[in-house]
Amino acid sequence: MSASLPSSIATWVQLARSLETQSAIIRNAMGPVLSNTAFIDTARQISDQFAQWQGTFGAQAASMRAALPSAISAVQMNGALVASLQAAAEAHRLNFGGLQAVIDAQDLAFRQLVGPSLATARLAAALESFQVELTPPLASLRTATLGLSLAANGVHEQFAQIPHVADLLPRWLLQAPTLEPYLATRALAIAEHATSEVLDREEDAEAESIIRSVGDELEARLLGVGQEFLEPYRGAFVALQSQHPDWCRHVSVSVRELMDKLIGRLAPDEDLGTYFPNPTIEQIKDGKFTRRAQLQFIFRTVAVQAYAKMAEKDIDLVLATFYPANEGVHSLIPPLTEEQVWVFWRRIQGCVSTVLQAANY
């Protein structure tokens, strides 16, 4: 399925039909093992989940541009998992002993890759109904978020064509195209004044578990780059938790200080001069390399094939999140509940983690 976004309702119908086909494949593939009680519950749960999502997509009254990339990603990745499970069921038709391990592995991949993409799609669809003033910072953030989802869909399209992709890639490279749009869309939802009820409804348990682990490890990873990065990182969180009247400005100052120091350390001028012998106007300004050039250097080792486009969108999102076009960014974020504080903080952690991962930290 293409990552293009036609504006017709047929796109949602196509997704529903794809899920229906995938559900039929599962039922046929698992038929030989349904009589074996060890697999009945797993097979039925998978089939029931497909039927539920088919209804969700089929009920859409219109094509929603912001929601489609993640929805298409989910169907693409699910199709790849279904094909893999079908092959495994055939291979184990006469020997059920090895099939449970295959099902367990497929179920984990399903929860890590498909579930969060569907949650992202549903939340993006909910945001379509919000009436918000598109100030320049908010418009920039919304555009960057959509661009990241589109780029992630391109990566998922390639993943879906690679057998056993989960065995071939490092964990971060496999999960980033799913988790980054999820984090970005949830942060955008806060900026657009989404309620806790909306955020709770579209939360994905597996994604949240992975993100918590990433956050718990972040201080140690920052320390691996340098002790001086911990103070602005911790300062930003203290300000965010305080929710005092000037909290957003204090968070912005702290995270910008952190990002400026971090990308300066990871992309020193002498290396940039060698890497960009003929810099463009986007890469150098007033005789100094720009933040975009610094981030392009940091992402150079992962910006290959489908990841090239996604890396550029990652850069756009980092710039839109931490370096908005004007100082009105504090007007984007309303007073936050404790839960919303964590959603916003996880997005900050996700951006920092992505930069560190690109630099092999």
- The average pLDDT across 325-344 equals 60
Q: What is the mean pLDDT of residues 92-103?
A: 67
CA distance 346 to 207: 11
At residue 118, does pLDDT exceed 90?
no
Residue 263 has a pLDDT of: 92
Confidence of residue 176 (pLDDT cuts 50, 70, 90): confident
Q: DSSP for 237-274?
A: HHHHHH--TTHHHHHHHHHHHHHHHHHHHHS-HHHHHH
Tell me which residue range forms the domain holding 94. Answer: 1-129
Does residue 210 lie in a domain region? yes
Q: Are residues 182 and 97 in the same domain?
A: no
Cα distances from 171 to residues 104, 294, 333, in angstroms, run 17, 25, 32
Assess whether 14 and 64 both reside in one domain: yes
Better-predicted residue by pLDDT, 305 or 360: 360
Percent share of the chain, pLDDT over 70: 74
Six token digits for residue 149: 């989802």
Judge if 229 and 278 occupy the same domain. Answer: yes
> Does the residue 206 lie in any domain?
yes
| Residue 179, in any domain of the structure | yes
Alpha helices in 128-191 (DSSP H): 136-159, 171-191
Number of domains in the chain: 2
Tokens 């989910």 — which residue?
74
Contacts of 1 (CB under 8 A, 6+ apart): 14, 18, 72, 75, 76, 157
- For residue 134, tell me if it sits in a domain: no
Domain termination residue (choose one: 82, 101, 129): 129
User: What does residue 289 show for φ and ψ, rounded to 5 degrees?
Assistant: -70, 140
Clarify whether residues 125 and 143 are in a common domain: no
Same structural domain, 245 and 356: yes
Domain end call among 105, 129, 153: 129
Shared domain for 279 and 177, answered yes or no, is yes
Q: 158-162, 165-169, 251-255, 343-347: which has the minimum mean pLDDT?
A: 165-169
Average pLDDT over residues 172-186: 84
Q: What pTM did the predictor assign?
A: 0.75
358 belongs to a structural domain:
yes
The mean of the pLDDT values for the chain is 77
Q: Which two tokens stand for residue 34?
A: 């349904």
Final residue of a structural domain among 129, 150, 172: 129
